[in-house]
A and B are shown apart, each in its own frame.
Chain A
Amino acid sequence: MQIFTCPFCGPRDEREFHFAVEAGKRRPEPAAGVSDAAWADYLYAVEAPKGAAREVWLHLTCGEYFLMTRNTVTRDVVGVEALPGRQT
Chain B
Amino acid sequence: MKRYSALTLGIEGLRRHRGWRPAWRKATPQHEYDAIVVGGGGHGLATAYYLAKNHGMKRVAVLEKGWIGGGNTGRNTTVIRSNYFHPESVALYDLALRLYEGLSKALNYNVMLSQRGMLIAAHTPMQMEICTRIANAMQLNGVDGALMGRDEALARVPLVNQSDTARYRCQGGIWQGRAGVARHDAVAWGYARAASDMGVDIVENCSVRALLIENGACVGVETDQGTIRAGCVGLAAAGATPGLAAQTGAVLPIHTYALQAFVSEPVKPCLDTVLLYLGTGTYVSQSDKGELVFGGALDRVPTHGQRGNLPTQEVVTSGLLEMFPAFAQLRLLRQWAGVVDVVPDSSPVIGPVGVPGLFVNCGWGTGGFKAIPAGGWLLAHLLATGGHHEISAPFDLSRFAAGRLIDEAAGSGIAH
Interface residues, chain A, with chain B CB atoms under 8 Å away: 1-2, 14-15, 18-19, 36-37, 39-41, 43-48, 50-51, 53, 55, 72-75
B401 touches A36 (CB 8 A): yes
Residues A73 and B303 in contact, CB atoms below 8 Å apart: yes
Quick check: A45 and B252 within 8 Å, CB to CB? yes
* Contact of A75 with B311 at beta-carbon distance under 8 Å, contacts A40-B401, A44-B344 already known: no
| A72 contacts across to B, CB distance below 8 A | 256, 302-305
Q: Which residues of A contact B400 (CB under 8 A)?
A: 40, 43-44
A46 with B252: CB separation less than 8 A: yes
CB of B405, distance to nearest CB on chain A (Å):
9
**B residues in contact with A43, CB < 8 Å:** 344, 400
Q: How far is the CA of A70 from the CA of B254 in the complex (A)?
A: 19
CB of B254 within 8 A of CB of A46, answer yes
- Contact B254–A48 (Cβ < 8 Å): yes
Q: Which residue of B lies closest to A45 (CB)?
A: B251
* Residue pair B255, A48 in contact (C-beta under 8 Å): yes
> B247 near A: Cβ within 8 Å?
no
Q: How far is the CA of A39 from the CA of B254 in the complex (A)?
A: 16
The tally of CB-CB contacts under 8 A between chains A and B is 67
- For residue B56, CB closer than 8 A to chain A, the reply is no
| Residues 251 to 269 of chain B near chain A (Cβ within 8 Å) | 251-256
Partner of B251, one of A46, A51, A75: A46
Pairs of residues from A and B, 4 with the lowest C-beta to C-beta distance, nearest first = A44-B253, A40-B401, A45-B251, A50-B304
**Contact (Cβ within 8 A) B256 A48:** yes
B155 within 8 A of A: no
> 5 A-B contacts, Cβ less than 8 Å apart?
A2-B309, A14-B301, A37-B401, A48-B302, A53-B302
B256 contacts which chain A residues (CB < 8 A)? 48, 50, 72
* B343 and chain A: residue at smallest CB distance: A44
Q: Given the complex of chains A and B, what is the CA–CA distance between A46 and B242 in angstroms?
A: 9
Of chain A, the residue at the smallest CB distance from B246 is A47
Q: How many Å lie between the Cα of A32 and that of B50 in the bound state?
A: 46
A-B contact sample (6 more), CB < 8 A, given A48-B255, A48-B256: A2-B309, A36-B402, A41-B251, A43-B400, A45-B251, A50-B256
Q: How far is the CB of A22 from chain B (nearest CB, A)?
A: 9
The residues of B that contact A73 with a CB separation of less than 8 Å are 303-305
